[in-house]
Structure 1
Amino acid sequence: MSNQTSTQNEPITRLKDGLLQIAIWKNESEKGRPFYSTSAVQRSYKDDNGNYHETTSLSGSQLLQASRLYALAYDQVRELEEADYQASKQ
């Protein structure tokens, strides 16, 4: 359900469920400590010309799906924070 990337200025993970996705970004504080942020859940759609776009507008039936993605993102961020903490102790 996630795709790992390591490119600069790219999210480290994208969690997807159907047309919806959320991205997790790794940042660094002024003191050099890592922290994580997420994008809002986005929905992909195709316009009448066949071009793909993204929006944060969701239908009522997609709200539970978005809630699930936020919960998964929360769990992922907690795991990343724990891994960072363990690595800093070594």
Structure 2
Amino acid sequence: MTNQNPTPNEPVARLKDGLLQIAIWKNQSENGRPFYSTSALQRSYKDDAGSYQETTSLSGTQLLQAQRLYALAYEKVRELEEADYLASKE
């Protein structure tokens, strides 16, 4: 898992397992309240020319990795939401 100090248009976290990755984005509602969303799970691969590409299709053996990443993303979003809530109470 990689946490970053996000700049505009950068995710607040990226979760990886092998070739699979999910990004977590921080947004603000119309009333200024923060909320989080995730990108679709993506898989990296090399094409015939040797260039890296990304796809959302998975092989059967990658389904458990995807399940694990979605669970980690859920936990990370909950952690970020809690930190935002506590910061708003200060």
- Shorter-chain TM-score bucket reads over 0.9
Structure 1: distance between partners of 2:74 and 2:2:
13
Corresponding position of 1:20: 20
1:6 deviation in Å?
1.1
Letter in 2 for 1:85: Y
Partner SS, residue 25 of structure 2: strand
- Secondary structure of the 1:27 match is strand
Q: CA shift at 1:58, angstroms?
A: 0.2
TM-score, normalising length from structure 2? Answer: 0.96
- Structure 1 unaligned regions, length at least 5: none
Query: Aligned residue for 1:88?
Result: 88
TM-score, length-scaled by structure 1: 0.96
Separation in 2, partners of 1:30, 1:53: 35
SS in 2 for 1:30: coil
Identity, % of aligned positions: 80
Runs (4 or more) in structure 1 with deviation over 3 Å come to none
Task: Tell me the distance in 1 between the aligned counterparts of 2:42 and 2:32.
Answer: 30
Where structure 2 has 5 or more consecutive residues not aligned to the other structure, the ranges are none
Partner in structure 2 of residue 37 of structure 1: 37
After TM superposition, give the deviation of residue 5 of structure 1 in Å. 3.8
